[in-house]
């Protein structure tokens, strides 16, 4: 399982998105938990049915235990415990972010360690050197907003629905790249590998810059009202924002790959759906002979397959969870060390 190619097979994957949150412009924890409770049983039943197996064929039950909204996590953890107990199989505790690292390997057997991993989701932005599964060195992380969070906030400023990342990407495609130039977050030409911000990210400043651009590009006299700016301006702002974020993500990831001498870059998390990001990463990496692997959308955004795949890894190492397993809002990823001193 730690070999050069991933040989696990995905039998079925059911994804149920909670559209209810679109109405509120964000996730409402209480509603999320209640919807988990209502949906979990039929969703798992459909997944088992789709795999064409009987419950008795299940070897283990993997479940996300951290990080996240505890109310929603507890619904999953309680259900998983009950299922594991009922079928007499082990329970496996999975860390959500470790699962995002595994996700791409499900459909790209070569997306396995050693690689430089870029995790870009709604809650996290992390640059990780993955020497082997379970052996992670944190090179950099965001100091404020996550990349996906920035996309979502900018989407809101542009009057787009939540979650807004994919809408920003679509709008940016029609945008003029030279109209709005936002400074590249956390990128300075004189950064050295030992600079504290060499690998780190920050996305709250660009959100403010976008807010100002939105204000000034409103038609004269309309400033201050809640209407989004005129269409071409919206597309141009979306493009300027996306280009700036992508430049930072690509540059920092390349720095990580170069310093740890990796031949592969693996992207994970919802923002990895962004084709402009994937394209830009490939362009930069190919000139250095580095391969870039990105998950397909169903495996980039949150999904159960990546939890099962990570569970398989922990099962193979005998790491099962007790039936009094708890859920945690925050928790360090297992196997993650802090540090910029990358072993070669
Ligand atoms: O990994 P994920 O499904 O959930 C978390 O663990 O947070 O990531 C969701 C995030 C949202 O912020 C969403 O706007 C963003 O991924 N996202 C995108 C795109 N598709 C989803 N961001 C930029 N471009 C996209 N195409
Ligand atoms: Zn996620």
pLDDT tens digits, residue range 150-164? 999 999 999 999 999
* Confidence at residue 19, expressed as pLDDT on a 0 to 100 scale: 73
Mean pLDDT, the chain, whole residue set: 92
Distance CA 208, CA 298 (A): 31
What DSSP element (H or E) covers 244? Answer: helix 231-259
pLDDT at 146 over 70: yes
- What's the predicted TM-score (pTM) here? 0.93
Which residue has the CA at smallest separation from atom 13 of ligand 1? 165
pLDDT of residue 342: 41
Between 196 and 168, name the one with better pLDDT.
Answer: 168
In this prediction, residues 244-248 reach a mean pLDDT of: 98
Higher model confidence: residue 236 or residue 32? 236
Best mutation site among 97, 145, 154, 301 for ligand 1, i.e. most ligand atoms within 8 A of its Cβ? 301
Nearest ligand to the CA atom of 270: 1
Strand order in the sheet with 125-132: 291-293, 264-268, 115-120, 125-132, 135-141, 336-338
**Given this model, what pLDDT does residue 258 score?**
97
How far apart CA 289 and CA 264 sit, in angstroms, is 9
Q: Measuring from each residue's beta carbon to the nearest atom of ligand 1, which residues come in under 6 Å? A: 121-123, 148, 151-152, 163-166, 169, 269-271, 273-274, 301-302
| Token reading at 293 | 């692997």
Bond into 190 cis (ω within 30): no
Give the whole-number percent of the chain exceeding pLDDT 90. Answer: 84
**Ligand 1 atom with the shortest distance to the CA of 273:** 26
171 vs 123: CA distance, rounded Å: 23
pLDDT digits (tens, 9 = 90+) for 297-307: 999 999 999 99
Per the listing, tokens 């479940």 go with 63
List, in order of start, the domains of the chain with CATH numbers.
Answer: 19-99+302-337 (3.30.420.40), 112-294 (3.30.420.40)
pLDDT per residue over 119-133, tens digit each? 999 999 999 999 999
Find the range with the poorest average confidence among 30-34, 138-142, 260-264: 30-34
> pLDDT-derived band of residue 3, with 50, 70 and 90 as boundaries?
very low
Candidates 17, 22, 121: which one to mutate for ligand 1, based on the most atoms within 8 Å of Cβ? 121
pLDDT tens digits, one per residue of 275-327: 999 999 999 999 999 999 999 999 999 999 999 999 999 999 999 999 999 99
Question: How many angstroms separate the alpha carbon of residue 123 from the centre of ligand 2?
Answer: 7
Q: State the helix-helix crossing angle for 204-216 and 147-157, rounded to 10 degrees.
A: 10
CA distances from 89 to 58, 82, 285, 307 (A): 8, 10, 43, 16
Specify the pLDDT at position 73: 97
- 11-62 pLDDT, tens digit per residue, is 999 998 777 777 787 888 888 899 999 999 999 999 999 999 999 999 999 9
Nearest CA to ligand 1 atom 14: 165
Instruction: Please tell me the total number of residues recorded for the chain in this structure.
Output: 344
The bound ligand whose nearest atom lies closest to the alpha carbon of 21 is: 1
Averaged pLDDT, 185-203: 92
In this structure, are residues 151 and 216 in contact, taking their beta carbons and an 8 Å threshold? no
State yes or no: pLDDT of 2 exceeds 80.
Answer: no
Q: Average pLDDT in the 96-113 region? A: 97
Predicted pLDDT at 344: 31
Please return the burial class of 98, using the count of CB atoms within 10 Å of its CB with bins 0-12, 13-18 and 19+: buried
> What is the pLDDT, as a whole number, of residue 26?
80
Cα–Cα distance between 66 and 89 in angstroms, integer? 21
Ligand with the closest atom to the CA of 124:
1
Q: Using CB atoms within 10 Å of the CB of residue 143, give its burial: 0 to 12 exposed, 13 to 18 middle, 19+ buried.
A: middle
pLDDT reading at 4 higher than 80: no
pLDDT of the residue at 297: 95
């Amino acid at each position: 399982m730690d070999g050069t190619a991933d040989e696990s097979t995905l039998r079925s994957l059911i994804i149920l998105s909670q559209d209810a949150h679109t109405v509120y412009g964000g996730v409402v924890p209480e509603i999320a938990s209640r919807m988990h409770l209502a949906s979990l049983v039929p969703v798992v039943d459909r997944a088992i049915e789709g795999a064409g197996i009987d419950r008795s064929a299940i070897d283990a039950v993997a479940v996300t235990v951290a990080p996240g909204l505890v109310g929603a996590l507890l619904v999953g953890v309680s259900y998983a415990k009950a299922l594991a107990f009922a079928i007499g199989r082990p329970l496996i505790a999975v860390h959500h972010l470790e699962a995002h690292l595994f996700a791409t390997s499900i459909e790209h057997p070569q997306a396995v360690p050693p690689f430089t991993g870029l995790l870009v989701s709604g809650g996290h932005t992390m640059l990780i050197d993955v020497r082997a599964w379970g052996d992670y060195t944190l090179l950099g992380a965001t100091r404020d907003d996550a990349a996906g969070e920035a996309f979502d906030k900018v989407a809101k400023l542009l009057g787009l629905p939540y979650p807004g990342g994919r809408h920003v990407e679509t709008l940016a495609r029609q945008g003029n790249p030279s109209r709005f130039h936002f400074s590249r977050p956390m990128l300075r030409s004189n950064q050295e590998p030992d600079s504290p911000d060499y690998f780190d990210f920050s996305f709250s400043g660009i959100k403010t810059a976008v807010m100002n651009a939105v204000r000034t590009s409103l038609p004269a006299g309309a400033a201050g009202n809640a209407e989004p700016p005129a269409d071409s301006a919206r597309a141009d702002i979306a493009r300027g924002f996306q280009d700036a974020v992508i430049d930072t993500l690509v540059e920092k990831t390349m720095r990580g790959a170069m310093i740890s001498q990796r031949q592969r870059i693996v992207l994970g998390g919802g923002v990895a759906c962004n084709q402009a990001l994937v394209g830009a990463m490939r362009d930069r990496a190919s000139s250095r002979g580095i391969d870039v692997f990105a998950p397909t959308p169903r495996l980039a955004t949150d999904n159960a397959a990546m939890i099962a795949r990570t569970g398989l890894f922990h099962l193979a190492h005998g790491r099962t969870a007790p039936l009094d397993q708890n859920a945690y809002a925050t928790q360090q990823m297992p196997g993650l060390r802090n540090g910029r001193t990358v072993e070669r």
